[in-house]
Amino acid sequence: MAAGENMNILLSGEFDSFVQLIGALIIFAFVIGITYLTTRWMGGIQKGRNNNKNLNIIETIGVGNNKMISIVEAGTVYLVVSVGKDEVHLLAQLTREQLKDFSFDEHFDFAIFSAGAETSRHFAPIAASKGCVVIDNSSAFRMDDDVPLIVPEVNFNDVINHKNIIANPNCSTIQAVVALKPLDDKYKIKRIVYSTYQAVSGAGKLGLQDLENGRAKTYSPLLKFSHPIFDNCLPKIDVFLVNGYTKEEMKMINETRKILGHPYLPITSTCVRVPVSNCHGESINVEFEKNFEISDVITTLKTSPGILVLNDDKNDSYPINSIANGHDDVLVGRIRRDFSKPNSLNLWVVADNLRKGAASNAIQIVEKLLNMEETYEK
């Protein structure tokens, strides 16, 4: 066969692949478009809303061989869509209302709940009674004495006596205790002072919309916050309590005590919402019972699971949001002695609050439970 013929065949194959790809994209757009229009017709759309409020790709993962699975939010409907080289399949269409008391009659090994405390309080005990292990991301069971509050790098052994419900801690607490646990083991923590700088993603979609509206100077009514978050720092996360603290601040205090196993540990906390999209930063001042050397502290942190130390002052290397974003590690830096008080240390800790602060921590719990089961079976 002539070289020219080979080239023609090659070009023809590439053209066919290109056409197939365009066809798949058109089909995908058609499926999403029809669902979007149907959702608008069924649910109604408030005037003035942007399209991206009603159609949103929640998550996309690759599953090999040029295939992807996407979860698409279209109004109140969630679509699970498989996209291949030349094909698109609608795998499932779900709504929140589809969860019923009998939903767990069919056996499930695990269920990850992230639908708010009210939903968890109702459905988690039902699922647990059917033998399903629930990993709950809400605040519903965190301070329940019979429910372990788990960060796998810190206190996974606490799951041993679980009763099919395991609580996922608050996002800001998770990254703090990952950094503090190895230091507590070595020097014994005496007191903690938390100051947090928490991203708007922790307040959900409405909070992010407030931030975007502020950036765009649309002067839209506030959807989440009591004051504009753009160009502001708001020293209130969740509601104020009678003791003057916010609910978020008390979560950090109480959850840290439970996870570290120090029920009476002196802790104070100030939690601030800052105008960044994602990743929480925390300034942590910690006092120990024992003295320490900074070099030993750094070595201890570097050799502890789930921690990435960035502490090179000469090269301006320290934890920042853009490095933490999209990763599961807890970044620790600005490690220095507090000269105002004996045996005291300052840390700057940053983590992705949507990953390690929520989803990844829950997945890691499931993975460790599965590994534990495999070990027992052997």
- pLDDT digit string, tens, across residues 44-71: 433 333 445 566 776 666 655 566 777 7
* Res 343 pLDDT > 90: yes
- Grade residue 18 by pLDDT with cuts at 50, 70 and 90: very low
Closest Cα partner for 38 from 80, 71, 76? 76
* Res 280 pLDDT > 70: yes
Ordered by where they begin, the domains of the chain are 3-97 (no CATH), 171-359 (3.30.360.10)
* Res 128 pLDDT > 60: yes
Active-site entry in 132, 171, 271, 279: 171
> Percentage of residues in the chain with pLDDT exceeding 70?
79
Secondary structure letter of residue 356 according to DSSP: I
In the residue annotation, 233 being an active-site residue is answered as no
* Res 17 pLDDT > 80: no
| pLDDT score recorded for residue 32 | 53
| pLDDT score recorded for residue 179 | 98
User: In sequence order, what DSSP letters do the residues of 102-131 get, joined into one string?
Assistant: TTTSS--SEEEE-S-HHHHHHHHHHHHHTT
Q: 3-state SS of the chain: helix, strand, coil percent to 5?
A: 40, 25, 35
Q: Report how far apart the first and last C-alpha atoms of the chain are (Å, whole number).
A: 59
Give every CB contact of residue 365 below 8 A, 6+ residues apart in sequence. Answer: 135, 150, 152, 156, 159, 166, 168
Helices marked H in the chain: 3-43, 117-129, 152-155, 171-187, 205-216, 247-260, 294-302, 321-324, 360-377
In the residue annotation, 171 being an active-site residue is answered as yes
Average pLDDT over residues 73-79: 74
Angle between helices 247-260 and 171-187 (to 10 degrees): 40
- Judged by average pLDDT, the poorest of 96-110, 182-196, 217-231, 301-315 is 96-110
| pLDDT score recorded for residue 65 | 59
Distances from the Cα of 309 to the Cα of 100, 297, 320, 334, 356, angstroms: 45, 11, 12, 9, 16
Task: Tell me the per-residue pLDDT of 3-12, one tens digit each, with 9 for 90 and over.
Answer: 444 434 333 4
| pLDDT score recorded for residue 189 | 98
| pLDDT score recorded for residue 305 | 97
Task: Tell me the per-residue pLDDT of 79-120, one tens digit each, with 9 for 90 and over.
Answer: 777 777 677 777 777 666 677 777 888 788 999 998 889 999
Active-site entry in 89, 107, 280, 327: 280
- Grade residue 1 by pLDDT with cuts at 50, 70 and 90: very low
Average pLDDT over residues 20-25: 52
| pLDDT score recorded for residue 285 | 98
* Res 287 pLDDT > 90: yes
Task: Tell me the per-residue pLDDT of 216-270, one tens digit each, with 9 for 90 and over.
Answer: 998 889 999 999 999 999 999 999 999 999 999 999 999 999 999 999 999 999 9
